[in-house]
Structure 1
């Protein structure tokens, strides 16, 4: 079983990990209950976000927190029934978002995000997926002059500190660039380095095709059947049991459940999000995020995708329509929005950790077990980056950047 691996999870993170392992000569199989790219990786804004060197932190502004608590802020919604179980993790998240801890978080996050375009480009070429990629970035639209001035200063800082490209657009510039918008904004930040993906789930599927071309395999199975098998690991699939020397847990929000049975207690929680597609593209030239309204409008192959902000809830909690209703209403105010294509909104779960960086590395107490999850909002952006990082570690190579900040051992 030398140089063989099971990768549990067929999302962006799992598929990219498997592809990098296959390129290094591993006999690798991706195991999932669904086809690649059909869970969390399917439902996002479809952006490869080079500008996102600062991960989404927990707000410390009292007025913002009050708005969230009273249900007035559409960027964040919460299910009160989940709060007792989430309280300690959200408290840790709040502390890590403070001025003492957050600068280190940004350094660790930027060390990953700086590689996202180059690593995706390698995989895009291997997958022949250039038709799904649309360079040109997206626009962050600001309703108030104060918010616009704040974000403009931030854009200038990120340009100087990290080389992130942007164009600061005043109200007239935005109106000329996006004439389909019915309302005037104070201005916008056009993040020019980001790439838009016209079909996020389709891109993961193309990457899975590239994996198979590189010698990897896909299997349908239940990750919960993973167990130690002599010096390796075994999982049950519809094709029978599959064995390998190594096993990678890349199950996103479901990773914690599997690992609890092995004695690990990672403070994983989910940030849920919703989207709905509408006919046509409403005339937008790029994706536009109305930040105050917590509403992203993204032209996709399927139509215009309208996405929501974050919802804190239990992994299996029933969907709530609050944010999607508000986002649809806001999109209709801003654009000539077509008819709904889907009867019900899509709901997905982003796997998050309180310190805002993923777990990437060897499990502390199990030989041949590797952990790879917790990318929160940026699993789609970072899958090829941390996939390469983990594959290098598994193959005994010198990692192309320091993996220590993402060590699974940091949680004890």
Structure 2
């Protein structure tokens, strides 16, 4: 695993475009921790790599900090403009944020900070980063006095793809293997002067099931390229996480999330539906987007009614505005309408379809399945993919 073996915070701020409060920076500098044993410190909880352009929802415990590695290749004369935003969840939550530079001689400079001096529900930090390497975004509550839940995201307008992240391509959320059986990657500038070999690992799972991922292939980078053949066991629509590590050593990037699309076409994985409480469910696939948007609908083919829909927005750095993108749709129909039970709630055993809409507003099925929410383990339905009707809606 990636470990934070040293963390000392000197009182310094480098090239802030939206200067942090001196009090915030000073307090962030005082929040120092040193661990020379190599053991993880529970108060500094390392999160998976945060890719520039990603937005994640997470939490930090009482007296704890959630630490996000972010790879940036800035340099004097060619700074990387980085915006960092953390927003507390609704309720009695707040956030504080510090952005730390790369480890240099056992120390990390505080590049920017907010929410240390006074409690804040939203912290925005704008930086012009002139350092290259693994930076850290450290999130916790004010004074670490309570648990907090938050969204954290990074953004860089008009950045060269090679200036952010370990991989210049593909970026998080991209489709891979289109027209080939190969994942083709290009390393970013942050590893341009490396003195070690880099390995690319493919970890594959059904869509939306990262906990079921298993490693299927490994390749060693040649120069700035790292390519690997996708095994035949990987299915269209599977999630493929690209893990980067020093050859035989530590993980550099915990995983760039992508989706396997051997053909540029729409699909839905009705064999990998995630059922929730009562009537909710999640389903994943690939669909055409127009101007960064796609509408995914859930309909009953048995009763010829729409159950729910999900408006999907282009939200990942690897997404395209016009073209095919991965989607994870969540359907949560209202249980009641005007105080009475919603008559359109799904029923176990009925034939359902998931689809999208063409430019004329016509519904186009992506796939069909038998609805079977058997969380109780007592239903007689079997669920799973089914053939769709041939008639149009």
TM-score (norm 1): 0.22
Structure with larger Rg = 2
Looking at secondary structure, tell me which structure has more strand per residue: 2
Higher relative contact order (CA 8 A, sep 6+): 1
